[in-house]
Amino acid sequence: MRSVCAYCGVGCGVRVEQEAGQWRLAGDEAHPANRGALCIKGSSLIESLAFPERLLYPRWQGERLTWEGALDRLAGELARIIGESGPQSVALYLSGQLTTEDYYVANKLMKGFIGSPHVDTNSRLCMSSAVVAHQRAFGEDLVPACYEDLELADLVVLTGANTAWTHPVLFRRLQQARERRPGMKLVVIDPRQTMTASQGDLHLPLRPGSDVALWNGLCRYLLEQGLWDKAYVARHVAEFDGLAAELDRPCWHPEAVAAACDLPLCDLLGFYRLFGANPRTVTLFCQGINQSERGVDQAGCIINAHLLTGRIGKPGAAPFSMTGQPNAMGGREVGGLATQLAAHMGFDEESRDRLARFWGAPRLVSGPGHKAVALFEALHKGEIRALWVLGTNPAVSLPDSLRVREALARCELLVVSDVTADTDTARLAHLLLPAAAWGEKGGTVTNSERTISRQRAFLPPPGEARPDWWALTQLARRLGFAEAFPYEHEQQIFCEHAALSGFENDGARQFDISALAHLSREQYEALTPLRWPVNAAHPDGCDRLFADGRFATADGRARLVVAAPPAAPLQVAPGEGLPLLLNSGRLRDQWHTMTRTGHVARLQESEPWPTLRLGPASLLALGAEPGALLHLRSAQGEAHALAARDEGLREGEAFLPMHWSESYAAGSGVNRLLAPRVDPLSGQPAFKQEAVRVSLR
Ligand code: SF4
């Protein structure tokens, strides 16, 4: 049986077989993402299914209910709240763990039939800045490249991405390409000397938050040195004059940029020369770029450099946003973000009218809903009275997590669908609904290179666990929308989603998988991985977008964006009382809030406790030995962690992994310390910078 890994945005294919009564899992050699390779997390997927407290039956405040009883009660409570306070008083919070089919039904129900725009997803936390940057530059949320481009490039730039740990199989592909072609260069831009940075030909440990300066400085250098593609820009790119005028300012001169980034001028110019000299350049960016108050601008400046040089839509040349989760991209396709409608449509009148007619939707929403951080603030204020959380753990994963927890505890009706009752969010729920886990349900997911893959069930769901799309469908029927929710199998949902992508789409929207709209059940079951678009022009999928220089804007030209220096410092600056700058991020062997990995023994081996990494001088100043218990304080809150020495950190900076919570170590959790600061355009939280004080406990 072929399926897909449940963990990261690489989207590796797996093969699952039974041998002597035991399930065995291996990488799928036929899958284009991984060609048979798996990392330690992927290879431990079967072990992860032994959840310590599997949720087997619906429960209302601890009491077991039948599904009938639970859904009747949920429908009744929602109808009452909507009747009293209107549809905007109810919300959904979704997850990149859901299948595209789950996501599709959730969005259709809320945005088309209940009439609430407040549907957001934990994907807001990982790549929503890249989404907005794509929309600004390309006219639509489109990832131009495929993984093969990383192997074809002569220069790969990894920025804000510890790929060796967070997307290990993709990094292994890159390493193998470098072994085959030793002339290929790797530049890593990251404040920390990570495992990834240690493999680079050049590491730029820039000052956190100085990415706009670095990339604007590069664009100025390319213009000054005549290293840009004038013909490409003239034909395919707009807004050049505005960018050129901005880049004329002295603050983007190399000396000024080197000072702003706290980098040696020779290293900065070394990077600029490498970029200028290599037409086959891929710049891969991830959370270090996106999770910032300037995430959209930072991603936009990277895209600018590629547009100026025409390095997009060609083999081995592209800006490339990696997603964190297995189906962050699928969620984007169906409107999982509060700021989009399904099939990459926006809230303009024409799109709304088209979608309302396609769905037969009586209450299509008129505009965007709350983005994640704002959604939980609305919950705290009581403006949202009912929330259904599916497949995620916001009590831990959002910034200012203690306030989020408070908001969840205050909620009049909190429904949680999950595979386990043992999460910080599930413990606060009024109604717990048992979800089918990975391996127990079918559907599709889309990885970072636009490849749609089938996730397949090889186990029966235990107890009364059911797929999320099924629970959402049953609720829709109880709310009076049976005709529009006839689904008995995920294939029907997928085909409707595919048909919508091609509905009245004359090519204006490049997300188009209409060639898959008429798959039979057998064809759906046998579906092999395909990179979208999959339509009449690309019946077998498409490796690269924009190969013809046409973008998804009204005039077909991409847009350069102007990112000026901020009028006031946006990033948190360490100061008196809070002298250290704290960074947060992922470990190689853990996943999200550990709900899937925390009980897998071999994933616990490398780092069993939350550990604050500090430079030697910071440790010395504290008088702390590695392993000492530390107390961290920020303006927002407090947390505990063990001390560790890390010589790859800039002095005055510290790093704390994002995974731990109360459930795994008392008083731990980086999000207790982080203020809910967000990018104003994307709403993505700035998880990467917080001023803290550390003391011995
Ligand atoms: Fe799974 Fe990502 Fe590892 Fe691939 S790289 S096996 S998708 S966790």
Kindly give the distance from the C-alpha atom of residue 378 to the centroid of ligand 1, in angstroms, as a whole number: 35
Whether 287 maps to a domain, the answer reads yes
Q: pLDDT, tens digit, for every residue of 7-53?
A: 999 999 999 999 988 999 999 999 999 999 999 999 999 999 998 88
Residues 626 and 481 in one domain: no
Structure confidence at residue 575 (pLDDT): 80
Does 572 have pLDDT greater than 80? no
The pLDDT of 121-145, averaged and rounded, is 97
What is the position in ligand 1's atom list of the atom closest to the CA of 4?
A: 7
AA letter at 402: L
CA atoms within 13 A on the CB side of 548: 5
Residues 289 and 373 in one domain: no
The pLDDT of 228-237, averaged and rounded, is 98
Helices (H) and strands (E) in the chain, counts: 25, 26
Least confident residue range of 45-54, 485-494, 532-541: 45-54
What is the position in ligand 1's atom list of the atom closest to the CA of 5?
A: 1
Whether 447 maps to a domain, the answer reads yes
Does 4 have pLDDT greater than 90? yes
Structure confidence at residue 656 (pLDDT): 95
What is the position in ligand 1's atom list of the atom closest to the CA of 34?
A: 4
Whether 358 maps to a domain, the answer reads yes
Residue of the nearest CA to atom 6 in ligand 1? Answer: 42
pLDDT over 90 percentage in the chain: 91
pTM: 0.97
Residue 333, class by beta-carbon neighbours within 10 Å (0-12 exposed, 13-18 middle, 19+ buried)? buried
- Give every strand in the sheet of 443-446, ordered side by side: 443-446, 451-455, 530-531
Kindly give the distance from the C-alpha atom of residue 10 to the centroid of ligand 1, in angstroms, as a whole number: 6
Residues 304 and 356 in one domain: no
Residue 550 CB contacts under 8 Å (≥ 6 apart), including other chains: 236, 556
Does 329 have pLDDT greater than 90? no
Whether the CB-CB separation of 550 and 556 falls below 8 Å is answered with: yes
Q: What is the DSSP string of 142-197?
A: -----THHHHH-SEEEEES--HHHHSHHHHHHHHHHHHH-TT-EEEEE-SS--TTG
More confident residue, 414 or 567: 414
Least confident residue range of 194-208, 335-349, 458-472, 556-570: 556-570
Q: Domain containing 22 — which CATH number? A: 2.20.25.90
A 10 A CB-CB count for 396 gives 28
More confident residue, 596 or 229: 229
The pLDDT of 415-421, averaged and rounded, is 96
Residues 99 and 194 in one domain: no
Write down which residue in 324, 345, 376 finishes a domain.
324
What is the position in ligand 1's atom list of the atom closest to the CA of 326?
A: 7
Structure confidence at residue 569 (pLDDT): 54
Whether the CB-CB separation of 688 and 584 falls below 8 Å is answered with: yes
ipTM higher than the 0.90 cut: yes
Residues 585 and 597 in one domain: yes
Of 488, 465, 596, nearest to 101 by C-alpha is: 488
* DSSP H or E segment with residue 2: strand 2-4
Q: How many domains does the structure of the chain reveal?
A: 4
Structure confidence at residue 474 (pLDDT): 98
Kindly give the distance from the C-alpha atom of residue 8 to the centroid of ligand 1, in angstroms, as a whole number: 5
Q: Which domain holds residue 226?
A: 126-324
Residues 88 and 188 in one domain: no
Structure confidence at residue 571 (pLDDT): 62
Kindly give the distance from the C-alpha atom of residue 26 to the centroid of ligand 1, in angstroms, as a whole number: 12
Residues 184 and 305 in one domain: yes
What is the position in ligand 1's atom list of the atom closest to the CA of 591?
A: 8
Q: pLDDT, tens digit, for every residue of 473-490?
A: 999 999 999 999 999 999
Residue of the nearest CA to atom 4 in ligand 1? Answer: 12
Residues 684 and 592 in one domain: yes
Whether 550 maps to a domain, the answer reads no
Does 568 have pLDDT greater than 80? no
Q: Domain containing 685 — which CATH number? A: 2.40.40.20
Whether 229 maps to a domain, the answer reads yes
Whether 6 maps to a domain, the answer reads yes
Residues 113 and 163 in one domain: no
Q: pLDDT, tens digit, for every residue of 365-401?
A: 999 999 999 999 999 999 999 999 999 999 999 999 9
Write down which residue in 296, 324, 352 finishes a domain.
324
Q: Domain containing 240 — which CATH number? A: 3.40.228.10
The pLDDT of 92-100, averaged and rounded, is 96
Whether the CB-CB separation of 107 and 334 falls below 8 Å is answered with: yes
Residues 33 and 174 in one domain: no
Q: What is the mean pLDDT of the chain?
A: 96
Residues 39 and 151 in one domain: no
CA 483 – CA 360 distance, rounded (Å): 10
The pLDDT of 140-155, averaged and rounded, is 98
Q: pLDDT, tens digit, for every residue of 163-196?
A: 999 999 999 999 999 999 999 999 999 999 999 9
- Ligand 1 pocket mutation, candidates 7, 449, 600, criterion most atoms within 8 A of CB: 7
AA letter at 415: V
A 10 A CB-CB count for 348 gives 10
Q: Domain containing 83 — which CATH number? A: 3.40.50.740
Whether 240 maps to a domain, the answer reads yes
Structure confidence at residue 668 (pLDDT): 87
Whether the CB-CB separation of 349 and 356 falls below 8 Å is answered with: no
Residues 117 and 137 in one domain: no
Q: pLDDT, tens digit, for every residue of 510-527?
A: 999 999 999 999 999 999
Does 567 have pLDDT greater than 70? no
Write down which residue in 460, 488, 516 finishes a domain.
488
Whether 412 maps to a domain, the answer reads yes
